[in-house]
Amino acid sequence: MLAFDDKRIRVVVGHYGSGKTEFSVNYALKLAEQGKKTALADLDIANPYFRSRERQDLLEEQGVRVYSNTFGYDITADLPAITAAIRGPLEDPLCHSVIDAGGDHLGARILIQFDRYFDPADCDFFCVVNGRRPETSTLGGAMNHIFRIEKETGRNITGLINNTHLLKETGAEDVVRGYHLCTELSSRLGVPLKYNCCVQTLLEELRPKTVQYQDFHIFPMRLYMRDSWLDR
Amino acid sequence: MNEKVLMKGNEAFAEAAIRSGCRYYFGYPITPQNEITEYMSRELAKHGGSFVQAESEIAAINMAYGGAAAGGKVLISSSSPGIALMQEGFSFLCSTEIPLVILSVSRGGPGVGTIQPGQADYYQSTRGGGNGDYHLFVFAPSSIQEAVDMMARAFDIAEEYRNPVMIYVDGVLGQMMEPVVLPKPIPAVSGDEISKLRPWAMTGTDGKREHNVIKSLYLKPEELEARILDMDQKYQKAKKELVLCKTEGLEEAEVVFVAYGSTARITEEAVDLLAEEGIQAGLIRPVSLWPFPYDVFDQIPDTVKAVISVELSMGQMIDDVKIGCKGRFPVSLSGRVGGILITPPEIAADAKKALGVRA
């Protein structure tokens, strides 16, 4: 089971399409379920579609405060600015914060303005890796990606999240394949592999394939962000 | 078979173009198609190609015109207001019979409109805003895989017909992620091969042959008329050869939807919703928008009570649907605009309304 002994502020970075937003939404909902004061900040200024603020109502109902852009135009501003109110949960020592950054190193650039809150004692930097995205499907590609994000933000990754998937065509073997990729990344970078994400419907298929790996921490996910017709 | 990878629509389209032998791209950024421009700027040079970010869409289409006239395999992409700026170029390319592939990733209009998806560029794509008797061949895939598979074919059609081909998708397909199998790369042609394959191209005479002339100005009316008649022969041939359409469940249907692109996928879910309530719905999905699959509408049985055009517009394709229906059925619209995607329950409700069933 997940202990969630991660640091109070969890910054989530990764390649666009890695599943940062889905992971962030699931993570925030799990924190709220545990009765924790939880905030989710959508700092994605790179991607115009499919952002966590689109699920704002659902999140707020479940007790997650959502922070996004200044204008309240939600999804339609081409150059969204980030609301200053995001500093609220970051400064509140009782508030667990999940920061969903934009994709790639360019999307992560926005984090720099909040850098003073990212004290390593209080903050984790998670990198979501999807081993089925062409650019991050190899050790070299994934490392290169992480280095660029670290260089851009000036912060080191403190944990890897294996979110290897092919959307509706994901098989348990994809998750295991991502686990092997991330394990190797983990030993090269000296950074722990924290979670292996898996949709609820695949859990039964996945569990027997992972019994030989003692460090295989499964992070069960529900897909909140994807409309059903997209996967027809 | 190549392995499945997870890609964003725009990047998959760009990669498919490179694998289809495209080596030249000219563009100007606009959401929601920026990833195509970004991908080409990063990847094209690795394949010996050239990327130019133009100062405007007008410059981009004219650079593309030049590149293609010189025999290059050229892709150009933009979104609604950007495609609007390129219309003059399309007319010139059709007139001078220069092959080109255009990727149009549409958003909500009119004007600057919104960066969210829209399908209100149906007229723009199939009727066009350029001058003269010209047509683009327009194809509207409804999945990333279909678009990727279509790319090599689009370049082939452009070359065979010597006419620009447009792949018209909306922002949803550009921005969404899907598992996709990329096609095997086709080697690009260069140098002498270009002048053999495209003897009309401006490859340089080297003092050995007559000059090739590419022009759209004809001072003698008879010459221009002959030119237009030649072009029309090509368009009549295209109407026979390039029609593409998918149909589902027309035989048992009470109501038939007509939808293209991502909207067809939303409509498929509406068909299932209606089936749960005992209402049989069929679906016609035009894949080629020009030439439009008018003949397919003859397959709709007389027992059908209503035909509904589902589009993210105030009704543009509906004109072609009415032509196809030849007055046999009442035709109505189901749509949302402003960058809002219609939902399956909304489409189902419109169908029930058209059938006179209480919601």
Mark which of B160, B192, B224 sits at the end of a domain. B192
| Span A179-211, pLDDT tens digits | 999 999 999 999 999 999 999 999 999 999 999
* Mean pLDDT (whole number) for A61-74: 73
My answer on whether B80 and B165 are in the same domain is yes
CB contact under 8 A, A48 and B116: yes
My answer on whether B121 and B252 are in the same domain is no
Q: What is the pLDDT of residue B282?
A: 98
- CA-nearest residue to B117 within chain A is A49
Neighbours of B209 (CB within 10 A): 11
My answer on whether B174 and B250 are in the same domain is no
My answer on whether B160 and B263 are in the same domain is no
- Give Rg (Cα) of chain A: 17
Is residue B53 one of the residues assigned to a domain?
yes
Three-state SS for B179?
A: strand
pLDDT category, A70, cuts 50, 70, 90?
very low
| Span A138-182, pLDDT tens digits | 999 999 999 999 999 999 999 999 999 999 899 999 999 999 999
* Mean pLDDT (whole number) for B120-132: 96
* Backbone phi, psi, residue B74, to 5°: -120, 135
Q: What is the pLDDT of residue A55?
A: 79
Mark which of B162, B192, B222 sits at the end of a domain. B192
pLDDT averaged over chain B? 96
Residue A107 has pLDDT above 80, yes or no: yes
| Span B2-26, pLDDT tens digits | 789 999 999 999 999 999 999 999 9
DSSP characters over chain A: -----S-SEEEEEE-TTS-HHHHHHHHHHHHHHTT--EEEEEE--S-SSS-GGGGHHHHHHTTEEEE-BSSS-TT--SSPPBPGGGHHHHH-TT-EEEEEEPSHHHHHGGGGGGGGG--TTTEEEEEEE-TTSGGGSSHHHHHHHHHHHHHHHS----EEEE---BTBT--HHHHHHHHHHHHHHHHHHT--EEEEEEEGGGHHHHHHHHTT-TT--EEEE---SS-GGGG-
Chain A interface, mutation test: which of B39, B177, B336, most A Cβ atoms within 10 Å?
B177
Would you give the DSSP letter of residue B285?
Answer: E
A141 contacts chain B (CB < 8 A):
no
Query: Residue B252 burial (CB < 10 Å; 0-12/13-18/19+)?
Result: exposed
pLDDT category, A106, cuts 50, 70, 90?
confident
My answer on whether B25 and B152 are in the same domain is yes
* CA distance linking residue B45 with residue B13, whole number of Å: 17
Q: Which of A122, A100, A2 is nearest to A55 (CA)?
A: A100
Q: Say if CB A38 and CB A64 are below 8 A apart.
A: yes
Domain that holds residue B89: 4-192
Count of the separate structural domains present in chain B = 2
Nearest beta carbon to residue B179 from set A167, A228, A229 = A167
Q: Which residues from chain B sit within 8 angstroms of residue A229, using beta carbons?
A: 265-266, 268-269, 344
Q: What is the pLDDT of residue B142?
A: 98
A78 contacts chain B (CB < 8 A):
yes
Residue A71 has pLDDT above 50, yes or no: no
Q: Under 8 Å CB-to-CB from B288, ≥6 apart: which residues? A: B137, B138, B139, B140, B242, B243, B244, B245
| Span B140-187, pLDDT tens digits | 999 999 999 999 999 999 999 999 999 999 999 999 999 999 999 998
CA distance A37 to chain B (A): 32
My answer on whether B185 and B283 are in the same domain is no
Mark which of B150, B173, B192 sits at the end of a domain. B192
Q: What is the pLDDT of residue B191?
A: 80
Q: Would you state the structure tokens that stand for residue B241, as one six-digit string?
A: 């050869």
CA angle (A4, A9, A10) in 5-degree steps: 65
Q: What CATH number should be reported for the domain holding residue B337? A: 3.40.50.920
Q: What CATH number should be reported for the domain holding residue B187? A: 3.40.50.970
My answer on whether B170 and B251 are in the same domain is no
Is residue B236 one of the residues assigned to a domain?
no
Residue B230 has pLDDT above 90, yes or no: yes
Is residue B117 one of the residues assigned to a domain?
yes
Q: Which of B182, B104, B101 is nearest to B145 (CA)?
A: B182
Is residue B42 one of the residues assigned to a domain?
yes
My answer on whether B175 and B260 are in the same domain is no
Is residue B96 one of the residues assigned to a domain?
yes
My answer on whether B22 and B143 are in the same domain is yes
Alpha helices in chain B (DSSP H): 9-19, 34-43, 57-69, 80-85, 87-95, 122-126, 144-161, 171-175, 192-197, 221-241, 262-276, 317-325, 344-355
Is residue B312 one of the residues assigned to a domain?
yes
Tell the residue number behind the tokens 């909306």, with chain if given.
Answer: B170
Q: Which residues from chain B sit within 8 angstroms of residue A50, using beta carbons?
A: 175-176
* CA distance linking residue B185 with residue B155, whole number of Å: 13
CA quadruple B177, B245, B74, B53: dihedral sign? negative
My answer on whether B153 and B261 are in the same domain is no
A67 versus B134: the higher-pLDDT residue is B134
Nearest beta carbon to residue B6 from set A76, A167, A229 = A167
Report ipTM for this prediction.
0.85
Q: Which of B345, B346, B359, B311 is nearest to B331 (CA)?
A: B311
CB contact under 8 A, B269 and A232: yes
Of how many residues is chain A composed?
Answer: 232
* CA distance linking residue B112 with residue B116, whole number of Å: 11
pLDDT > 70 fraction of chain B, expressed in percent and rounded: 99
Give the max Cα distance, chain B: 77
My answer on whether B275 and B163 are in the same domain is no
B112 contacts chain A (CB < 8 A):
no
Q: What is the pLDDT of residue A46?
A: 67
Q: What is the pLDDT of residue B354?
A: 97
Nearest beta carbon to residue A49 from set B32, B265, B344 = B32
Is residue B225 one of the residues assigned to a domain?
no
A55 contacts chain B (CB < 8 A):
no
Three-state SS for B245?
A: strand
Q: What is the pLDDT of residue B147?
A: 98
Q: Which residues from chain B sit within 8 angstroms of residue A165, using beta carbons?
A: 6
Is residue B334 one of the residues assigned to a domain?
yes
* Mean pLDDT (whole number) for B336-358: 95
- CA-nearest residue to A170 within chain B is B179
Query: Residue B129 burial (CB < 10 Å; 0-12/13-18/19+)?
Result: middle
Residue B205 has pLDDT above 60, yes or no: yes
* CA distance linking residue A56 with residue A60, whole number of Å: 6
Asked if the bond preceding B345 is cis, omega within 30° of 0, the reply is: no
Residue A37 has pLDDT above 50, yes or no: yes
My answer on whether B10 and B145 are in the same domain is yes
* Mean pLDDT (whole number) for A105-120: 90
Give the side-chain half-sphere CA count within 13 A for A22: 26
pLDDT > 90 fraction of chain A, expressed in percent and rounded: 69
CA quadruple A131, A136, A137, A143: dihedral sign? negative
* Mean pLDDT (whole number) for A56-84: 72
| Span B282-338, pLDDT tens digits | 999 999 999 999 999 999 999 999 999 999 999 999 999 999 999 999 999 999 999
B176 contacts chain A (CB < 8 A):
yes
Classify strands B255-259 and B306-310 as parallel, antiparallel or unpaired: parallel
